[in-house]
Amino acid sequence: MTMAPNKLNSSVNENGSCSPSENGFARSFSLFPAEADHELLQSSIQESDGHLIEFSEALRTVAKALRRAAEGKASAQAEAAEWKRKYELERARNLKLDHKVQSCRVNQGDLDGLKLDSPAKKLVFCDEADELSERCCSRHGICSHEVLRDGNPDSDSKMLRKASFKLSWCSKGEQSDQHKHDIVSFERGNITTAERSSKQISLKWESCPQTVLILTKPNSVSVQMLCAEMTRWLREQKKLNIYVEPRVRKELLNVSSYYSFVETWKDDKEISLLHTKVDLVITLGGDGTVLWAASMFKGPVPPVVPFSLGSLGFMTPFHSEHYREYLESILKGPISITLRHRLICHVVRDAAKSEYETEDPILVLNEVTIDRGISSYLTNLECYCDNSFVTCVQGDGLILSTTSGSTAYSLAAGGSMVHPQVPGILFTPICPHSLSFRPLILPEYVTLRVQIPFNSRSPAWASFDGKDRKQLAPGDALVCSMALWPVPTACQVDSTNDFLRSIHEGLHWNLRKTQSFDGPRDL
């Protein structure tokens, strides 16, 4: 049986769809063609992707808020611990003073029968004077009668006196002897911090230096000979105590047993106490030797006298041929110094719950560098300044430099040369993937945080003054701020004169032939 042609045409139209009069399902099906189904599916997928992106950004915001809360808690705990430590020290000192007064107290009835000039009353008055003197020192800083002792003051060990000094602002042709406690803080002869000034900084000894630390560049015969000669001269002519590294002491003893008077240290604990014994540091080498000297002192740094025995020196103004004249003048004083500030860096791992779980802080005198290492991908670094977002660095890396390090890696990466006493932190990108990314100079009181985002293609690497290289995985961060303890380096003339001479002699800055005078002239 065959269907009539008219019935077939009534059931199926020309484009192949079912007739609306014969099939209700076909009527509804014809309302959603294949193109509409595809568009509906694509819109639903895009909408779900948008929700996922919003959700991931919300999670990221929550993670940042939790991290900031943890950092705030850690900072509060650290501040509380510091106040507790100060309270315990003050309490111990007061107990010691009370015990001293009680042990020397004389019966009041016996005092009434004594004359004013009797030994008992003199003892009481001397104790009260000592107590007032000690309180004065703790309130205002260093006084000239204070003496540092090696170890327990009550023991019979060898006592080492540490020379005291004071800093003052001075300009050309004049010096100020006023001791400004509100500008320069002291703690038993150690420089803690100082504000910058438009004038030069002068160091004046209040007592003669007695102990000198000599640090040398290794693997140099000429440096070894100079070290031996300088050590003998300082001992015989100036009667100074000499400290050297264990390696240098072994080299001196191989030359002659005469150098048995030279002292050294055995472990890191003794190194941490060097600033309590050493009055002056002498470096024989280049800028690398000065960096090594600064890295040995995690806290206060004695004045450094850098002698130039390297290939290129921006921090070594003294020439070794005339070391006797230079040291004579420096030991006599006063001298001009440059306070070179350092950066203190903390590596905060992603898994860290507080700042106490981070690695030991690292001090740098030149710069800290975050780069891509051996990876072929660009670095992706999120930078914050005092919790304010600065930028996202995409390139080969980033340099956070002190002004002393402005003539080092930062200069090679396109940063500006800055006088070492200009207060600031240099923010210099390394080959950025943007033509508008120019270097910055930020104020010295800010705290910089460089974060490796979780979506980074590869980890980054951080190096500190060219060494101590550390890997930074996604989620890790590097926090940098200005350290409390500067590195005071002696000047041959003054800070500005030495800086300008170093860039002229070391970099041949703006050195060119003078334009000929016999060319065309304006009439």
Say if residues 277 and 190 touch (Cβ distance below 8 Å).
Answer: no
Catalytic one of 37, 130, 182, 287: 287
- Taking the C-alpha atoms of residue 390 and residue 367, their distance in angstroms, rounded to an integer, is 19
User: Residue 287 catalytic?
Assistant: yes
**Which residue is listed with tokens 């819109």?**
43
Cis bond before residue 486 (omega within 30° of 0): no
Cα angle: 155, vertex 160, 162; to 5 degrees: 135
Give 110-174 as a DSSP string. HHHTS-TTSHHHHHHHHHHHHHHHHHHHHHHS--TT----SS-TTS-SPP-----EEEEEEETTE
Q: Quick count: other Cβ atoms within 10 Å of Cβ 421?
A: 21
Rounded-to-integer distance, Cα 405 and Cα 407, Å: 5
207, 166 contact by CB (below 8 A)? no
Distance separating alpha carbons of residues 254 and 117, to the nearest angstrom? 60
Q: Which of 172, 198, 171, 193 is closest to 183 using CA atoms?
A: 193
The widest CA-to-CA distance across the chain, in whole angstroms, is 151
Beta-carbon contacts of 22 under 8 Å, excluding residues fewer than 6 positions away, are 10, 11
Active site residues: 287
